[in-house]
Each structure stands twice: as structure tokens, then as C-alpha cells.
Structure 1
Amino acid sequence: MESGDSSGDSNRQHCCFREWQTQQEEYLSELLRELQLSGDGHDKDTLLRNLAEKNIKHFQEYIDKRNRLARADISPFFAPDWCTSLESSLLWIAGCRPSSFIRLIYAICGSQIESQLTQFLQGVRTGNLGELNAAQLNLVNRLQGKVIREEEKLTSQMASLQEEIADHPISVIANGAVRNGGDGGNTEVEEALDEHSRSMLRVMEEADQLRMSTLKELIGILTPVQAVDFLTASRKLHLSIHEWGLKRDHLHGRN
């Protein structure tokens, strides 16, 4: 792993997250504003598609920046002190599960169908996620199966990395140090931990690639209105979980 000032690394990691949180709020306002604008046709579809693509681009930029910071110190991204306890409890390989994007679409689709059933029966169409057609649902379902299989592979890799901590050489060196009452083998331990960190970084990068590819495939399946509808709900959920986490941490004296 790259060496660097530990205090500086920590500050940059915190700043990266805070900047992303601020951007989430700005993106949500923009998404809501565009969804509420009246109009239809090709021009609005183009505007909404461009807006969705801009959001994807910004997410990629955040992922790239985060990965650069992780090369100096990977461990904090798996146990981030900049997240609330609630957020940390929901993490999967330093982020959200890609399959959660798909589950969110299913949840919104069901909710909107139920709330707009009367309008739908009257022939009123909004074009939102409640109006996914059979072909779209089939594509989303196939994507879900593929993503879950990839998640399972990465989860298995992560489990193996955790198990390796108890394997040679770290456990043998630790046992020898305790038995001899000293800190022997520091160099060997550091080399082993550095290799472990590099492996964790590779898994996180693969998980991020899966998050990005899943998001891009979903946006490709959805219409422009549906894509913005989904991104809006995703931003709301992300920000709400952060706020709920802050309140629960304060309630339990964790801040």
C-alpha cells in the first residue's frame, strides 16, 4: 500500500464522504425539480436521460476518488467512522449491495402501482416505475440473478480474507511474540498485513465495479422518466438512512 501521513489520510477520507453527502442533497433537489416540470416528448426524454447519465458520471467520479484514497489506507473504508452506526451495519464490502438497487425498484414499482391504481384504470399514465412493462421486468429479473451470483462470489472472497488472518504467518508470529514476551517478527507481520490490505483493496474495487455496472444496466433498462424516478428514490433513501443513523447515535450517546 502507498505510504502517507495518517492524519492527512483520515482527513481526506472524511472530506471525500462529506463532499459526497453534500452532492447527494444537491442532486436530489435537481432530480426532484426536473421530475416535477411539466411536458413530455423527445425533448423531455433527452433532458432526463442526460440528467441520469450525469448522476452516474458523478457516482463514478466519487468511486474513483475513494479508491485512490483507499490505496493509502484501505481498512477505514470497511469500518468508516464517518458513517453512523446504522449506515455501518448496512455496509457490504465498503458500500451498498448492488442487488439493493434492484430491490428498491421492485419496492417502488409495487408502491406506485398500489397508490396509482385508480388513475391507471382510468387511463392516466405517468410513465414512472409503477408502469414497468413485461419486457423490462424480465430484464430486471435476469439482471438480479446475475448480480446476486456475483455478490456471492465477492462475499466468499471477503470471507476467505478474514479467515486468512488466523493463518500463517500472522498467527504464528503473534503466538511467538506472546510466548517470548516481545514484538518479534514485526517486519514479517507488516508485510503480511500489507498483502492482506492489497487483497482487500482488490475486492473493494471489484465490488465497486459491480455497483457501477449494475447501476448502468438498470438505467439502460428504464425509460428516462423511470431512471430519474429511481435515482430520486435512491438519493432519498441514502440521505434518510444517514439522518436516521444520526438520530439513533445521538439517542444512544454515540456522538
Structure 2
Amino acid sequence: MDSFNEWIELEKNDLDELVTAYSFSNDNNNSNNSDDERLKRLVEKGINHFEEYCKKRGEIIMDQNDIYDATSFMCPVWGNSFGNAFLWFGGCRPSLFIRLVYSVGGSEFDQHLSDQLHTRRGGDGIITRGNLADISGQQLHMVNALHCRTMKEEHKISSKMATLQEQIADKPLAVIAKNAEPVGEWSEEVERAMKAHSVSLGGILAEADRLRLSTFKELMAILTPPQAVDLLIATKKLHISMR
């Protein structure tokens, strides 16, 4: 739990820094290459923090000495019931990052059309400020392709979990439980069987984290620095609000 609280504090600090830098860059008088470089560094910083968090989680999940390390991430005690209800293997669905591009970009585009006082006109005549509303056709094509690949990988991981869940009713755990006397007492056999399932679960969770990270990094590479920061702000606000 301490690691999670540290991660949340880091998220809040990063969010403050992102909002400040994005607001400054969004000012027409301050829009230049140096601002893009600053935003790019913040994006790289955000990626590094996420990568470090996933690495630390992986070390905890794959701890062979504690069978509950993996299962604790499925419904963490440090989360609330609402947030836990929407977890996908201990975190958000990787495709959620992409859905945010669509939803935030669409919302910002609508706002730009109705609020020209805070916008500038781009070369194609679309009102824009360089955020997700300004995503190009080529970028959108790349995002859509990433979305399709990510959903396929999500399905593969979900299928592995379904198989693992079904194995609860198979040997050896179900047979050991059936023959247990008295029922509910500690058993070395049950403990050993549960540990085997937990290790398998840990492997699936680690795979889910790798997909989250790879999707996030690829999406950041598609977007421009202002767009990437815009998305980072949206994801961090959503994450902090749902904890």
C-alpha cells in the first residue's frame, strides 16, 4: 500500500507540473519550439515513472514467497469499491488510453468551435490549439490501428484468465477440497495448489502490465508533445479521481 500511496503522490506532483507547462505553452504568446521541448521532456518523464511503477509491481507480483502478492492486485485494499469494480487485471484496460484520445479530442474540438476567443486557426482552417482536437488524419489512422491491435491482445489475456478461472474446478484444488476433512481447515496441499494458481495469475498480471506500458508508449510516440501532455493530464485526473 505504501508503494501505491507513493505512486499517487507522484501522479499528483506530475499532474501539477503538466498542467502548469501545458497552460504556459497554450498561451499564443509562448508557443515555440522551446515549449515543445519542455513538454517532450515531461512526456518522457511520465513514461519513465509509469515504467518504474510497472517494474516495481512486477517484482511484487512475482514474489514466490507470498502466494497473495498477485491476488492482492486484483481487488486492492487501497482502492475504493467503485474503482476496483472497473479494474482490468489490477489496472486500467490498455485500450482506455486510446478511448481517451477519442473522447477528449472530440470534446475539445466541440469547445474550439464554440469558443474562438481562445483559439487560433490552423493551416487547414480548423480551429485548433495544438491539443488532441488538432489530431491529423495520419495520426488518427495510426491510433485506430493501435486500438485494434491492443484490443486483440486484451482478448488474449482475458482468455488466459478465463482458462485459469476454470481450472479452479479441475485437479488438484477441487479434488483436494472435495476430500478435505474437516472442511475449511488449513492444508498444506491446498496451500501448495493455491500458490500454483497465484503464480499463474502473477504471470497474467505481468503480461497485462506489459501491454499497458507498450500501448501507452506507442500512443505517446504517435502524438505531438502538446497532444501527449493533454492526454497525460486527462489520464492522471481520471486515475486520481477514481481512486
Query: Once the two structures are superposed, what CA deviation does each residue of 1:16-46 show, in whole Å capped at 9, x if it has no partner?
Result: 1111111111111000000011422321111
Q: In structure 2, list runs of 5 or more residues that go unmatched.
A: none
Partner of 1:198: 199
CA distance in 2, matches of 1:185, 1:83: 29
Q: Is residue 2:171 matched to residue 1:168? A: yes
Q: What is the Cα deviation at residue 185 of structure 1? A: 9.2
Partner of 1:226: 227
**Match of 1:129?**
132
Count how many residue pairs are aligned between Structure 1 and Structure 2: 227
**Deviating more after overlay: 147-156 vs 115-124:** 115-124
Q: Do the aligned residues in 2 keep the contact of 1:176 with 1:184 (CA within 8 Å)? A: no
Q: Aligned with 1:77: secondary structure? A: coil
Q: Confirm or deny: 8 A CA contact 1:173 1:184 kept in the other structure.
A: no
- Identity rate of aligned residues, in percent? 42
The answer on 1:116 being equivalent to 2:134 is no
What amino acid does structure 1 have at the position aligned with 2:229? V
Query: Are residues 1:152 and 2:155 paired?
Result: yes
Matches within 5 A, 1:9-158: 14-37=1-24, 38=27, 39-70=30-61, 71=63, 72=66, 73-118=69-114, 119=116, 124-158=127-161
Hey, what does 2:240 align to over in structure 1?
239
| Residue 121 of structure 1: how far off its partner (Å) | 8.6
Question: Deviation string for 1:26-72 (max 9, x for gaps)?
Answer: 11100000001142232111111110010110111111112222224
Take 1:183 and 1:18, find their aligned partners in 2: how far apart are those partners? Answer: 34
Question: What is the one-letter code of the residue matched to 2:196?
Answer: E
CA distance in 1, matches of 2:112, 2:133: 8
What is the CA deviation profile of residues 78-121 of structure 1, one whole-angstrom value per residue up to 9, with x for unaligned ones?
A: 11111000110010011110000000110001101101015369
Residue ranges of structure 1 left out of the alignment (5+ in a row): 1-13, 243-255
Instruction: Report if the CA contact (8 A) 1:157-1:203 is conserved.
Output: yes
Aligned 8 A contact 2:22 2:229 in 1: yes
SS of the residue corresponding to residue 129 of structure 2 reads coil
Q: Quick check: 2:177–2:183 contact (8 Å CA) kept in 1?
A: no
Shift of 1:183: 7.1
TM-score normalised by L of structure 1: 0.84
Secondary structure of the structure 2 residue equivalent to 1:168: coil
Aligned residues of 2:120 and 2:129 also touching (Cα < 8 A): no
Separation in 1, partners of 2:175, 2:141: 52
Shift of 1:187: 2.7
CA distance in 2, matches of 1:193, 1:174: 11
1:192 Cα offset (Å): 1.6
* C-alpha distance in 2 between matches for 1:41 and 1:224: 12
CA distance in 2, matches of 1:126, 1:92: 34
Deviation at 1:162, TM superposition (A): 1.0
How much does 1:181 deviate? 3.2
Spell out, residue by residue over 1:191-236, the C-alpha distance to the aligned partner (whole angstroms, 9 max, x if none). Answer: 2211111110110010000000000000000000000000011111
Aligned ranges 1:207-226 → 2 under 5 Å: 207-226=208-227
Mapped partners of 1:45, 1:187: distance in 2:
59
Return 99-108 or 64-73, whichever deviates more.
64-73
